[in-house]
Amino acid sequence: MSFMEVIEMLQGILTTTGIMQITWQHVLMWIIGCAFLFMAIVKKFEPLLLLPIGFGIFVVNFPLVPLMGYSDGHGQLFRVFYHYGLEWEIIPCVIFLGLGAMTDFGPLIANPKTLLIGAGAQLGVFVTFTGTVLAGFTLKEAASVSIIGGADGPTTIYLTQHLAPQLLGANAVAAYSYMAMVPLIQPPIMRFLTTPNERTIRMKQLRPVSKQEKIIYPLICTIIIALLVPAVMPLMGMFMLGNLMRESGVVARLSDTAQNALMNIVTIFLGISVGATMEGSHFLSWKPLFIFGLGLIDFAVCTAGGIVTVKIMNLFLKEKINPLIGSAGVSAVPMSARVSQIVGQEFDKRNYLLMHAMGPNLAGVIGTAAAAGMFIAMFD
């Protein structure tokens, strides 16, 4: 075999590998994937989500890897996860089942006024919707982008899959990124919008909530949501079922499975599927990058909306509410409630706001889902 024949053979071998196919888009997406892994592993920002998302971004951006395409008419591995989990909207609903099984509605039942805070925190959704339309997005795209501010990943995925599936990767990654960065984004906004006196307001201990109230509550919520926003019942129905399993006390094994084993399994598939949608050829364009910027503004306005809602309510209430819990009106459960507690104790070590903040936090879950249901009813 001559020297030239050897060279041609080596060139032929190289063309069957990914080495000759690497582009700058691949390299940039590797860096982005590694940034997510850094936040998960080193900074410990929502590692259960950001680690599989980061790895999904990293591995799917190697040329020729058989992960997100089709082969002989059949979907490849990550494509199967994406198709059955996200396109069929199974994973977001199963995650809501697990969240419901983890949720204690006691703080919201004990202080129903906090429902208004959760509603007020949806301000950013509608502000961003308007701005996104003015930026040139379609109405369906604008609706799917604007829900990011609610910091509710499953609802973002559910709404985006209904209205603008081409934006699923960007919207989902933005939503989960901002959920993970709640401890970084919210405190400066909270300090800016509150006075020293407001931050030290102490709230009375919440009344005890009976088991009967906790059992009846998910049934009442199901009736109201099914009648007013039926489009979102696949999510909220599973959420209320999970909560009923928890509070009834008669299906402890099912509740434990929903909270732990099942939740862990679907979280793996969710993270991989979301990350795998972030191929450089699709992601590195102006729309996905613009969505990240809009998502940050959206989240900041939602945080501010909850705080301002409390300040307005305090004008009419004898027993004042600490405005710091208004930031928990976004539905990042329970991270934003913990942030309210942490910031509150910076100014008063004996001020315990966590349980009070859980009320608007849970109200935010319902509020974000209601906003998503409204958008689906209007545009789907």
Instruction: Establish if 25 belongs to a structural domain.
Output: no
* Domain housing 360: 70-379
So what's the pLDDT on residue 4?
66
Instruction: Establish if 29 belongs to a structural domain.
Output: no
Of the candidate ranges 102-116, 221-235, 289-303, the one whose mean pLDDT is the lowest: 289-303
Q: How confident is the model at residue 170 (pLDDT cuts 50, 70, 90)?
A: confident
Instruction: Establish if 290 belongs to a structural domain.
Output: yes
Q: How confident is the model at residue 297 (pLDDT cuts 50, 70, 90)?
A: confident
Dig out the tokens for 14 from the structure: 């190289």
Q: To the nearest whole number, what is the mean pLDDT of the chain? A: 89
So what's the pLDDT on residue 286?
80
Of the candidate ranges 34-43, 48-57, 126-135, 246-255, the one whose mean pLDDT is the lowest: 126-135
Cα gap 306→312, rounded to integer Å? 10
**Total tally of structural domains belonging to the chain:** 1
Instruction: Establish if 176 belongs to a structural domain.
Output: yes
So what's the pLDDT on residue 123?
84
Dig out the tokens for 67 from the structure: 């992960």
Instruction: Establish if 19 belongs to a structural domain.
Output: no
Average pLDDT over every residue of 112-130: 89
Please list, in sequence order, all residues whose beta carbon lies within 8 angstroms of the beta carbon of residue 87, skipping any fewer than 6 positions away: 161, 165
Instruction: Establish if 62 belongs to a structural domain.
Output: no
% of the chain exceeding 70 in pLDDT? 95
More confident residue, 124 or 232: 232
Distances (CA, A) of 211 to 3, 244, 354: 83, 11, 21
**In the predicted structure, residue 10 carries a pLDDT above the cut 80:** no
So what's the pLDDT on residue 61?
94
Average pLDDT over every residue of 54-76: 85
**In the predicted structure, residue 333 carries a pLDDT above the cut 90:** no
Cα gap 149→163, rounded to integer Å? 17
% of the chain exceeding 90 in pLDDT? 60
So what's the pLDDT on residue 362?
93
Cα Rg of the chain (Å, integer): 23
Q: Where are the beta strands (DSSP E) in 38-178?
A: 70-71, 74-75
Q: What is the CB neighbour count within 10 angstroms for residue 163? A: 23
So what's the pLDDT on residue 263?
96
So what's the pLDDT on residue 182?
87
74 phi/psi in degrees, rounded to 5: -110, 145
Average pLDDT over every residue of 141-164: 89
More confident residue, 295 or 52: 52
Burial class (CB in 10 A: 0-12, 13-18, 19+), 145: buried
More confident residue, 10 or 143: 143
Spatial contact of 88 and 96, defined as CB atoms under 8 Å apart: no
Of the candidate ranges 109-118, 137-146, 252-261, 329-338, the one whose mean pLDDT is the lowest: 329-338
Cα gap 187→43, rounded to integer Å? 17
So what's the pLDDT on residue 13?
59
Cis amide leading into 334 (omega within 30): yes
Instruction: Establish if 2 belongs to a structural domain.
Output: no
**In the predicted structure, residue 184 carries a pLDDT above the cut 90:** no
Dig out the tokens for 333 from the structure: 């459960």
Instruction: Establish if 297 belongs to a structural domain.
Output: yes
More confident residue, 14 or 313: 313
Q: Would you call 369 helix, strand, or coil by DSSP? A: helix
**In the predicted structure, residue 152 carries a pLDDT above the cut 90:** no
**CA angle, residues 169, 172, 176, in degrees to nearest 5:** 135
Q: According to the per-residue pLDDT averaged within each range, which of 70-79, 230-239, 332-341 is highest?
A: 230-239
So what's the pLDDT on residue 215?
97
